[in-house]
Structure 1
Amino acid sequence: MTDQAITYPDNIEPNVFTRDELGWVPWLQPLAEDELTSRHHAGLVDPSRAKSPYFMLLARDPDILGARTRTDKDIFYNTKSGLPRAEREIAATAASRTNGCIFCASVHSRFAYQHSKRDEDVQKLLEEGIYTDIDPSWNAIIDASAALTKTPQGFTESHIDELRRAGLDDVAIVDVINGAAFFNWANRLMLSLGEPTPPASVA
């Protein structure tokens, strides 16, 4: 295997934000499953991720991938205190919507709907963008996440105040920051390494 660039001339990238399940193809050659060592498997954390071209590409640096995956899981799955899972996913969706990462927005908007059951509100964020009006809590989370995503200096004390007025305590506010900051980075990584593909139903 080489690191030769890959192109997909027949792929028609999705150009609309959606909750549909999209595919993703890398522009560099990912590892093949038969190339994985015990170190690679440790970096993947979940064995099922060996089926993902994205994670198999990141597995070329398994130590960093392992740190990335454990950070991701702690931010979104460690919900014993702080922000509920749905709102963490809204922060990630807002970051992805701001960055134009259609793939990540589709994943996290599905989780946001799954955990909140707020179909119309999640769809409003996807269709209308970060300036949509939903409710004080989600508005504050979306506004803070978008500000942090655009530039860290744009995230100010006023965003903290807005989150507090919406009823979030300090731990929940940290969860908003973590979700948005992580996916601001993750979006840019994914956007630089490959491209989304249409849902299987229309591919």
Structure 2
Amino acid sequence: MSESVIRHDFERPNAFTQAQLGWEPWLEPVPVDELTPRQYEGLVDKGRANSPYFRLLARDPDILGARTRTDNDIFYNEKGGLPRAQRELSAAAASRTNGCLFCASVHSRFAAQKSKRPEDVQRLLDGGTAAPQNDPQWRAVIDASVALTVTPGEFSAEHVQQLRDAGLDDLAIADAIHGAAFFNWANRLMLSLGEPTPPAA
């Protein structure tokens, strides 16, 4: 693996958006034709080989495998708990707080699609996490996600009570926490390894 940093020459996006952004790494990812069976196992889904981000993480396939299975369980296991839209909202709020344009674009787009409330999601992107939200559940999920993201010590029993008062049970509260906590970590990893590219024309 080359230790040299890859320099990109493109106009970087500078605003939060629901549009589909790209992402380019600053370090060389594993070429598709050099991925080993063990690295494919780490990808979990072979389609992720199309992503330079996941091919970069495939340099440590065991950690990538654990990361991807955790990600999938948080967002795709809908056997009870928080609806998918609010899980995506928790990740979008964490990403908006951390300034990760790429992750915010992905999860805000899913939150908008699953909830059919793109204007509410866009308000989060444009106005920030303190922007007004009329839905008490959305307000509670956003507030809890922000507290966890700023520093876990900011998250308190008051946030749990706010989530409970908004109608969430224990499993739904755990889902909100997991979505924000996972992307609090994932944002920082992505921000340190590369940068977003503008939406495709």
The TM-score bracket by the shorter chain reads over 0.9
Distance in 1 (CA, whole Å) between partners of 2:179 and 2:192 is: 20
Query: Map of 1:12-161 to 2, 5 A cutoff?
Result: 12-134=11-133, 135-161=135-161
1:98-138, CA deviations, whole angstroms, 9 ceiling, x for partnerless residues? 00000000000111011110111111111111001212110
Distance in 2 (CA, whole Å) between partners of 1:116 and 1:200 is: 25
- Per the normalisation by structure 2, the TM-score is 0.98
Secondary structure of residue in 1 paired with 2:189: helix
Return the offset for 1:5: 1.1
Return the offset for 1:142: 0.2
- Per the normalisation by structure 1, the TM-score is 0.97
Distance in 1 (CA, whole Å) between partners of 2:151 and 2:51 is: 30
Indicate the residue corresponding to 1:168 in structure 2. 168
Secondary structure of residue in 1 paired with 2:65: helix
- Code of the residue aligned with 1:170 in structure 2: it is D
Distance in 1 (CA, whole Å) between partners of 2:120 and 2:28 is: 38
Question: What CA RMSD, in Å, does the superposition of the two structures yield over aligned residues?
Answer: 0.7
- Code of the residue aligned with 1:102 in structure 2: it is L
Distance in 1 (CA, whole Å) between partners of 2:114 and 2:84 is: 7
1:14-37, CA deviations, whole angstroms, 9 ceiling, x for partnerless residues? 110000000100000000012111
Structure 2 gaps of 5+ residues are: none
Distance in 1 (CA, whole Å) between partners of 2:124 and 2:39 is: 37
Distance in 2 (CA, whole Å) between partners of 1:113 and 1:197 is: 21
Q: Is structure 2 residue 191 aligned with structure 1 residue 181?
A: no
Structure 1 gaps of 5+ residues are: none
Secondary structure of residue in 1 paired with 2:195: strand
Distance in 2 (CA, whole Å) between partners of 1:192 and 1:107 is: 18
Distance in 1 (CA, whole Å) between partners of 2:128 and 2:179 is: 18
- Code of the residue aligned with 1:144 in structure 2: it is A
Secondary structure of residue in 1 paired with 2:131: coil
Return the offset for 1:12: 1.6
Percent identical pairs in the alignment equals 68
